[in-house]
A and B are shown apart, each in its own frame.
Chain A
């Protein structure tokens, strides 16, 4: 099976720049018509999502809402870093038909395959 494709190795160097990101946990599901990618982005709402396709790469980014809490932290495990992850898109995916939604911190990206890649019977004249 061909993959949604290898993750872009270059993203590993991102942290040396001024903005640090954290990679969201991702699940990728293969369906008959394409792939569905689920990314965990707690604290990100609709406005914070940015999905771009450029040079055959799919970039999913999520900017966290500021946590509205009062007082001083006694204990902290969450990291208030924005999310970002880059995937190389499989050529079979129709970049114009990618759609996404976010619900309770789960970003769902639908990556349908191009129609003409589905098997088709060619009739003889």
Chain B
């Protein structure tokens, strides 16, 4: 399903290819707990920070979940426009010493967008941020909810 739009669309195909490669390698590293240090995992290299994101649906609502550890509530921005939910913000690095000896974490701006399959009631959208997880609940618009239609026999 292709409801998730990857960001930075203005970037070149090559850069996007590198992003995919970096994402794959990240995944491999995580699965195998690689010990060989951050080869590409340096902030500012081709790979950019794109938080992992899930979308769930039940009959009344959509729930979008994003992993955003280490942010402040004020640093998360949410917008809903034409059925597209955009989560963006910035993770600021609090540097205490200049001697960061090993870093796999990403800092800086991020943005992800989700195109919702049906229309939602934008006035009832609720977001919470807890334990580094952003959860956005988007109730479906009345007209988008499934309805049972009685068949009348005439």
- Seen from chain A, the residues whose Cβ lies within 8 Å of a Cβ on chain B are 1, 3-4, 6-7, 9, 11-12, 14-15, 21-23, 25-32, 35-36, 38, 40-45, 65, 67-79, 85, 103-106
Are the CB atoms of B132 and A42 closer together than 8 Å?
Answer: yes
Interface residues of B (CB under 8 A from A): 1, 3-4, 29-35, 52-59, 61-63, 65, 67-72, 96-97, 99-106, 114, 117, 129-133, 135
> Is there contact, CB below 8 Å, between B53 and A77?
yes
Given contacts A42-B133, A43-B132, A85-B33, contact A70 B69 (CB under 8 A): no
Known A-B contacts A30-B101, A72-B56, A78-B52; A104 and B71 likewise in contact (beta carbons under 8 Å)? yes
The answer to whether B35 touches A73, judged by C-beta atoms less than 8 angstroms apart, is no
Known contacts A12-B33, A69-B63, A70-B56; is-contact A28 B102 (Cβ 8 Å): yes
CA distance A41 to B58 in the complex (A): 27
Query: Does A29 lie within 8 Å of B101, measured CB to CB?
Result: yes
